[in-house]
Amino acid sequence: MIYKIKAMSKKYGKKYVLKNINLEIEKNEKVVIIGPSGSGKSTFLRCLNTLEDVSSGAVYFNDLKLNKHFYKKIQGKIGMVFQSFQLFDNMTVLENITLAPVLNKVMSKEEAKSVARMYLKQIHLKGKEDFYPRDLSGGEKQRVAIIRTLMMNPDVILFDEPTSALDPEMTNEVLMLITEVSKKNITMIIVTHEIDFAKNIATRVLFMDRGRIVEDDCPEKIFNHPKSIRLQQFLNSRN
């Protein structure tokens, strides 16, 4: 088991954003999270990688009870891909990709550059090593951000709406890359509104509403046989 989440709640001030979440995630699962805006999906992901501390309960990652002090310990083991890419604007593509593995002594500088070049070729960005993020399209930026995460050989990658800022053509390129990555022996937790993609990639789907996990099932059950009225309404509103 890679994650064990026990009676986890998160509040901001007096407002509960996540309420009593209990969940276990096994290695290599591809978990998709769907749910309305404000239901707590991003907050949930942030609690899984120490960007936020929980208010009560606990999150265990490989048996380590997480809190912000362990940021260094989990760095590289838990990758995160954001809607807004979060590349370093003052660094080239190659520098963005090679920074973390070199700093953390996962690879030598030369090795990192060579692995980065191999990945860039795979994602059709050969020749753009020295470009800055501002000279890339949104889809290219997101593909670079995904490669940057892969360079650390993470156990798990958390994706928070990786294609929400992209137009349809670029969305497809990025979804194809994520699908390719999903074939690796890697755990993935993906917040997305792309229902067809979710059906395709997920081994398990969580439906969140108002800070709770309302349904937790295989894609077939979630999308074809939703149990709760809330999930039925949510899916209808997306058709």
- Closest-CA residue to 190 (of 169, 168, 214, 219): 219
When asked if residue 42 is in the footprint of Mg ion (CB under 5 A), the reply is yes
- Cβ at position 142, least distance to ligand ATP in Å: 16
Nearest CA-CA partner of 78 in 7, 14, 199, 160:
160
Residue 39 in tokens: 């239901």
Minimum CB separation of residue 207 from Mg ion in Å reads 15
Strand partners, 10: 18
Residue from 8, 25, 31, 43 binding ligand ATP (CB under 6 A): 43
- Give the nearest distance from C-beta 69 to Mg ion in angstroms: 25
Per-residue contact flags (x/-) with ligand ATP for residues 23 to 42, judged by CB under 6 A: ------------x-xxxxxx
Smallest separation (angstroms) from ligand ATP to the CB of 40: 4
**163, interface contact from Mg ion, ligand ATP, none, CB < 5-8 Å by kind:** none
Would you tell me how many other CB atoms lie within 10 Å of the CB of residue 223?
A: 18
Q: Dihedral, CA atoms, 228, 230, 233, 239, nearest 10 degrees?
A: -90
Q: How far apart are CA 189 and CA 81, in angstroms?
A: 10
Select the residue interacting with ligand ATP from 1, 7, 12, 53 (CB under 6 A): 12
- Give the footprint of ligand ATP on this chain (CB under 6 A): 12, 17, 35, 37-43
List of residues contacting Mg ion (CB under 5 A): 42
